[in-house]
Amino acid sequence: MSDRSRFTLDRRQMLAALAAASAGAVAPSGVRAQSVATKARIVIAGAGAAGLTMASRLAQRLDGAEIVIVDPRIDHVYQPGLTLVGAGLKPATYVMLRTGDFVPRSVRFVQESVAEFDPVGNKVVTDKGTQLPYDFLVVATGLVLDYTAIEGMEFGLIGREGIASVYGGPQAAEASWRALDVFRQRGGVGLFGRPQTEMKCAGAPLKQTFLADDYLRRSGKRAASEIIYNAQNDTLFSVPLVDAKVRELFARQEFKINFSHVLTRIDPARHIATYATAKGPVELKWDFLNLIPPMRAPLAVRNSALRWQSGPLSADGWIDVDRTTLRHQRFANVFGVGDINGVPKGKTAASVKWQAPVAADHLVGTITGKGGTERYNGYTSCPLITKIGQAMLVEFDYENRLTPSFPFIGPLEEHWLVWVIKETMLKPNYTAMLRGLA
Amino acid sequence: MKDFTPSVLFAIAQETVGAVFWILVALAIAVAVGFVVALIRQRGFRGPAARIAVWSGVIAGVIAAATAPMATQAGFANLNGMLDWILLAVAGLAAMVALAVVVFALLGATRSAAV
């Protein structure tokens, strides 16, 4: 285990001592709850935001459990920061973390990829052939980006021919900034939009449009440019109250909107994007193309019995969990956390923050026999940047109700304060979450 | 943005600052002790030490308030509504109080009160 993890455990002990010493400190759920003695074997598939958070929380609550976390990557990306990198506001290193810094000492990190899920046989098999039997499985694989589903597109094009796509990672986000930088200096036609599939952070396509617009206004090229947003259906956002506000802002900023336009192919040499529409294919020329790929579950999950077998979430392999307890609906010893879940809302880091304690509660409750009591209500949060220096704090649940965390911040108001929260507090909040401390 | 309890805020503060967190805590304690010593030696928040502390605090507060938006890669045009102006005021006030306390602690703890 790395030195940093040992240091972290000392800090955590000191933190617990200080918290206990300060009068009236309220225990956050799960962190200082009674520890449970067990010999359970738990496999966590994936060491992203969800996997690491679950590893930390389970390691804190379970005494003696054999916990294994499986992920081929030793680098961990702070994904909420990618939009800032792609807008030239932070360097690529801002989002680059190391998985090893966050894996608890008592958890074994297997640096391989899960190739097969066998929930009937209660084991996973890795790409190296390693068999990992389990008593409990936490599926936290996240999703995969399917760039090649768009004909003519491939990962290496990001940053070239005016194509931006921050989802591709830290280097892709930096390359995307270079493309945006050229666009703001020259102006022209900017094409924005989102895929038809489920996606992580449905607010990002909108934020990226607002940021490009702000840059063009600052460089004086906005009048000579056109910003076109191609919505994949007849809304800009799935929450009606937020959708109405976004339409108002889009009108204010003079964006052109095409509804029900789904990107199907691009011609990088001619800068022509083709969209499927109700009236047949439509071609649009771009100087700048903000391309967000279709997203789906990783192959190993799609090929497994864990996926939804029918219904609206079955097409892309998302897993069939109960929306409030996050327990798999057919395999009681399997839980899902994060983007992989087939639930109506919640592919954001903030959703992971709320989902992890719930899944952990029900998993531990199964071990103790007392059951779990916590419920996930679909909480999703989106600090919707509307220009450099301002953002709206949009938070909502499964019922599309707005659920503000801070009662004094209006959810559909643009504030510098919300921008400051996004710029200064969210990353430390995220890393504290990975350590099971927030 | 779920439960911002004291221990969660503490964890966030630690994550923000990183390895120097405990050094900063030690410094803060040293300043607090120095402030109390200064209060004793100066017989209250008074005298030349206090005057210099207040003036330097005010200057720091004004500079902090004037530069706070830029420090977050924003501008004054982004301040929208009472909430943002309150944040600006808090930033200025925090800088003012912090510098005044440090200056008074340094000057007041190390010299005797003027009669």
**In the predicted structure, residue A23 carries a pLDDT above the cut 70:** no
Q: Which of A153, A146, A147 is nearest to A271 (CA)?
A: A153
pLDDT at A8: 42
Q: What is the pLDDT of residues A229-239, one digit of tens each?
A: 999 999 999 99
pLDDT at A7: 38
Q: Which residues of B touch A (CB under 8 A)?
A: 1-8, 10-16, 69, 72-75, 77-81, 83-84, 87
Q: Are A197 and A295 in contact (CB under 8 A)?
A: yes
Mark which residues 369-428 of A lie under 8 Å from B by CB: 379, 381, 387-390, 393, 395, 405-406, 408-409, 413-417, 419-420, 423-425, 427-428
**In the predicted structure, residue A81 carries a pLDDT above the cut 60:** yes
Poorest-pLDDT segment among A1-10, A315-324, A373-382, B73-82: A1-10
Q: Are A114 and A125 in contact (CB under 8 A)?
A: yes
Backbone angles phi, psi at B107, to 5 degrees: -75, -40
Q: Are A135 and A122 in contact (CB under 8 A)?
A: yes
Exposed, middle or buried by CB within 10 Å (0-12, 13-18, 19+), for A34?
A: exposed
**In the predicted structure, residue A435 carries a pLDDT above the cut 90:** yes
Interchain CB distance below 8 Å, B80 and A413: yes
Q: Which of A125, A120, A119, A106 is nearest to A68 (CA)?
A: A106
pLDDT at A2: 42
Mean pLDDT of all residues in A368-382: 95
Q: Are A70 and A42 in contact (CB under 8 A)?
A: no
Q: Give dist(CA A76, CA A31) in Å, integer.
A: 23
pLDDT at B19: 81
pLDDT at B6: 85
Q: What pairing do the DSSP bridges indicate for beta strands A334-336 and A136-139? A: parallel
Backbone angles phi, psi at A293, to 5 degrees: -75, 160
pLDDT at A15: 53
What ipTM does this complex have?
0.90
Provide the angle, in degrees to the nearest 10, between the axes of the packed helices B82-109 and B47-71. 140
Confidence of residue A437 (pLDDT cuts 50, 70, 90): very high
What percentage of residues in chain A have a pLDDT greater than 70? Answer: 92
pLDDT at A24: 39
Q: What is the pLDDT of residues B7-28, one digit of tens each?
A: 888 898 889 888 888 999 999 9
pTM of the model as a whole: 0.90
Q: Give dist(CA A317, CA A313) in Å, integer.
A: 7
